[in-house]
């Protein structure tokens, strides 16, 4: 089938890579084979290349496919398999309807990567593990400690909900049609409860309003406190007056938020 550029459809067909992704999804440390999670939710199965590998490992696969024609054709490729295909935009799919432990995977369209991740991590019914194939640049930003980049508003948001780990890079030539950028696997292990509350996340988001400016300048605008007082608070917490928003971790922002509110 011809891909639809508007839906960001790029097919990954290398069987060895597809099997390695499915192995990552299936592997839950600390669980025996008998304890493995029985259900996998796949986002955007497309032609079913990854679906095939998942069905050999999981008792059931729920495939969420927005493309009506692909959703209609997919079951025909796997007769007799425990595959449920749901023709819906994943952003509108209610994860709370799932009544059994589950994991999530998918080759995610670049243009909706962040909304998809935010939806999964903020749901009440959290998956045990998330393995996504996304644009390499975005994956690197989400895991700045591993990639050598600075923190960002997005990476700190995700730090609140899950532990993250970078997987292998999958270069563009493995896709059909070939995209303009390379992809990378990223693994999320969600926490049962978030580390901080929404007010802290809002504080972090506002602190990155001007990421290149000194943090003290941004905080002056946020808290409406004189810059000199902000610098005193930063010094007491052990931060430089020249610190930028990206220099602080999520735990740093939690402490800073509490100090400013006092």
User: pLDDT-derived band of residue 156, with 50, 70 and 90 as boundaries?
Assistant: very high
Beta bridge partners of 134: 184
User: Which residue is listed with tokens 């007010």?
Assistant: 199
Query: Once rounded to an integer, what is the mean pLDDT over residues 256-261?
Result: 92
pLDDT value of residue 177 = 79
User: pLDDT-derived band of residue 122, with 50, 70 and 90 as boundaries?
Assistant: very high
Q: Looking at 5-14, 52-61, 193-202, which range is the least confident one?
A: 5-14
Q: Under the phi-then-psi rule, with left for phi > 0, alpha for psi from -120 to 50, and beta for the rest, what region is 112?
A: alpha
Query: Do residues 169 and 57 touch, judged by C-beta distance below 8 A?
Result: no
CATH number of 198-261: 1.10.8.100
Query: Do residues 154 and 114 touch, judged by C-beta distance below 8 A?
Result: yes
Helix, strand counts (H, E) of the chain: 11, 9
Closest CA to 101 of 28, 156, 30, 171: 28
User: pLDDT-derived band of residue 125, with 50, 70 and 90 as boundaries?
Assistant: very high
Q: Domain locations in the chain?
A: 5-190, 198-261
Query: Once rounded to an integer, what is the mean pLDDT over residues 66-78?
Result: 94
pLDDT value of residue 241 = 87
pLDDT in tens, 163-182: 999 999 999 999 987 788 99
User: pTM for this structure?
Assistant: 0.91
pLDDT in tens, 25-46: 999 877 766 677 889 999 999 9
Q: Please identify, in words, the CATH class of the domain defined by 5-190.
A: alpha beta
Evaluate if residue 2 carries a pLDDT over 70: no
- Six token digits for residue 144: 């700045």
User: Which residue is listed with tokens 């007769």?
Assistant: 79
Query: Once rounded to an integer, what is the mean pLDDT over residues 210-215?
Result: 92
Can 5-190 and 198-261 be said to share one CATH topology? no
Query: Once rounded to an integer, what is the mean pLDDT over residues 122-144?
Result: 96
pLDDT value of residue 7 = 44
């Amino acid at each position: 089938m011809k891909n639809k550029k508007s839906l960001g459809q790029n097919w990954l067909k290398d069987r060895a890579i597809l099997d390695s992704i499915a192995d990552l999804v299936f592997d839950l440390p600390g669980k025996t084979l008998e304890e493995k999670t029985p259900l996998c939710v796949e986002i955007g199965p497309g032609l079913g290349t990854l679906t095939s590998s998942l069905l050999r490992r999981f008792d059931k696969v729920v495939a969420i496919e927005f493309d009506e024609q692909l959703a209609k054709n997919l079951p025909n490729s796997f007769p007799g398999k425990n595959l449920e295909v749901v023709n819906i935009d994943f952003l509108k799919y209610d994860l709370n309807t799932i009544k059994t432990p589950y994991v999530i995977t998918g080759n995610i369209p670049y243009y909706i990567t962040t909304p998809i991740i935010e939806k999964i991590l903020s749901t009440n019914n959290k998956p045990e593990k998330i393995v996504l194939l996304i644009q390499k640049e975005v994956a690197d930003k989400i895991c700045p400690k591993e990639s050598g980049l600075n923190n960002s508003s997005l990476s700190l948001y995700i730090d609140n909900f899950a532990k993250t780990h970078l997987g292998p890079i999958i270069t563009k030539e493995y896709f059909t049609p070939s995209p303009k950028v390379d992809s990378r696997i990223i693994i999320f292990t969600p926490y049962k409860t978030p580390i901080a509350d929404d007010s802290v996340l809002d504080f972090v988001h506002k602190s990155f309003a001007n990421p290149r400016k000194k943090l003290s300048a941004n905080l002056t605008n946020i808290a409406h406190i004189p810059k000199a007082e902000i610098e005193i608070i930063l010094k007491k917490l052990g931060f430089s007056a020249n610190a930028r928003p990206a220099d602080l971790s999520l735990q740093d922002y939690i402490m800073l938020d509490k100090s400013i509110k006092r």
